[in-house]
Amino acid sequence: MKQDDLDFQREMSDVQPLFQGRDKADLSSSKPAAPSPAQIARRANAEHAVDEDNYLSDDFVELVGSHDPLEFRRDGIQIGVFDRLRHGDYMPDAQLYLVKRPLAECRRELFQFLKEGYDHGMRCVMLIHGRGKHDDSRANVLRSYVAKWLCQFEEVQAYTSAPASRGGLGTTYVMLKKSEKARARNRERQQKRRG
């Protein structure tokens, strides 16, 4: 199941249907249902658990120029592989939309997204964060933090701004390391070919 489907199911888990065995819903006097105490506690516990493990720094960030591309490559990543990532030759396995979200929420969502992506064996993911026209605009501050956070995440091998046709400076492609599960699957495939 794709990451977007998992995220959607998680977000929709406590939603009640409008039509519960009736032909029409009576919306004239209905108010939105307040979350139950159990739902609030469950949501708070999930956020707290992610925050406890989250090592991404929310300290001062050096602002990236609003017209500067984001690029990073760890030692050992071939330039040809990085160029393919930069040109959008790898199809993203999942994407995360961060535009106009609070910085603390972006930090939490990005951490969880990358951890889950790595755990599920994803190799290329896409982050949509937007880009401001000025260096100190809200979108560019987020973009600068995204660059900082991606470098702090050990499982990130490389990242680069997307080509203009796929979001340009407001979108970043991220290449993740192969997870241990993915390596095991590759070894099994290779053994089957040999055997």
Give kind and range of the element (H or E) at residue 25: none
Pairing of the two strands 156-161 and 71-73: antiparallel
pLDDT tens per residue across span 69-85: 999 999 999 999 999 99
Indicate if the alpha-carbon torsion angle 2, 131, 156, 91 is positive or negative.
Answer: positive
pLDDT at 36: 66
- Alpha-carbon distance of 33 to 194, in angstroms, equals 59
Domain ranges of the chain: 71-183
**How far is CA 175 from its chain centroid?**
12
- Closest residue by Cα to residue 94 from 123, 69, 133: 123
Instruction: For the full predicted model, state whether its pTM sits above 0.95.
Output: no
* Predicted pLDDT at 59: 83
Would you say domain 71-183 falls under CATH 3.40.50.1370?
Answer: no
Give me the average pLDDT of each 10-residue run along the chain (195 residues).
Answer: 71 63 45 62 54 80 93 96 96 96 94 94 95 88 95 96 94 93 80 80
What pLDDT is recorded for position 99?
A: 95
pLDDT at site 28: 44
Tokens of 37: 């105490």
